[in-house]
Amino acid sequence: MEAVQSFSYGFVKGFAENINFISTLIKEPENDPHGAPLQSERTPERTTELARRRVEKQRARGETPRVPKETVVGGNTRRAKLITIIAKNLLLSVTCILGVTHVIKPFMRRYMADFWDSTAERVIDSVLVSFWLGPMWLMIKLVNIFWMTDLANDAYKERRGRPAPSEVTMFFSDIVYTTILQLFFITQISLFSMLPVHIQGFNVFEVVLTTISYSLYSFEYKWMNMGYDVRKRLELVDKNVGYHMGFSFPLTLMVLCWDSFWVRFILYSIFFPFLIVCANDADEPQHRKGRTTHIFLLPERATHFCFWFIQKLVRTFGLKRAVNILIWLFVLVLVYYLGVIHFVLGLIPIAGMKHYVVLLKDSLVNVFVQIQETVLDWFGSS
């Protein structure tokens, strides 16, 4: 009973903070004509100690104090950055969608003209949606590392001061680890969403896991600025699931109420920057007490295994041969995964199972041979 009350309280608190911060962000005060946010008794100056002393000296001399733009983040400045990032995300998302629908799919239709029929088209559509999601999400995440980090750092400075210093190597290793972990978490969401547990048309597992993933992504920038490592960040979400589900619940419902994958993707790209700013302003639970849900157990284990396996390959065979082995292992797993999944979903009839598996295998092998040659040439020249 206590666990239910704690979950309910956390959910309501997270939901209320999200709505409150978004409404506050939209209604932020306007800037003055000189471009600096208006300061008043209700809006204290967010400046460094040195800048505050400089302002006091200027006032003592009877001069009009000038607030440097870099010392203040708020009002239209933050709103303008939000709009800029949203526009970039929207442009990138539309470019990806046009690339899939007007470049990749027509190319595959022409390449597979001898085998193309209604069943093949359904298979290819499913493959594109299923396997373009990961690379597209990865590409946008890598691009957004620079856009979102700038926005998150400004929001963090405004709220809490200077971020904790971190080494460049540690920063990028952290990004690589969390990116792989999040890819496995997306796979976990896809697998659990196949379970037929629905409420009002929404898959319960998909909603729960998606809200948690959105909250983790949004708080990740703030916690990295605070110097938290990956394990501590996962524990904070894992032991305060109610709060984090409530925090990202509005965005999750907004995204999942659409059947089209592309509409979901665009909505996520537009509204996710708001979550980052709200996360920096949020007063989320910092304790790590309570019951652990182990919701990240499988992605963590899979990520640890991947790093262990790659290190083992590199030590045993060397870097070039390890890359070669990894590429062909990926092709092998992908071919059989496609065949089994589409057979289970009924997209491939039993009689045509072998035909389509061979077709997919030939197509993928041709693609990955080119990738393999490019990667090995790059390693050879470097």
Could you read off the pLDDT of 326-339 as tens digits, one per residue?
766 666 665 555 55
197 pLDDT higher than 60: yes
Contact 225, 153 (CB under 8 A): yes
For residue 284, give both structure tokens. 């989320």
Contact 363, 322 (CB under 8 A): no
For residue 249, give both structure tokens. 């619940």
Residue-level pLDDT at 83: 81
Q: What is the pTM of this model?
A: 0.68
CB-based burial, 27-48: b 16+ in 10 Å, e otherwise: eeeebeeeebbebeeeeeebbe
pLDDT band at 69 (very low <50, low <70, confident <90, very high): very low
Residue-level pLDDT at 211: 92
For residue 32, give both structure tokens. 């003055």
Residue-level pLDDT at 347: 46
Residue recorded with tokens 């999601």 = 133
Q: Considering only 44-48, 210-214, 301-305, 356-360, which range has the smallest mean pLDDT?
A: 44-48
Residue-level pLDDT at 350: 45
For residue 135, give both structure tokens. 């690379």
Which tens digits make up the pLDDT trace of 312-366? 888 888 877 777 777 666 666 655 555 554 444 444 444 455 555 565 556 556 6
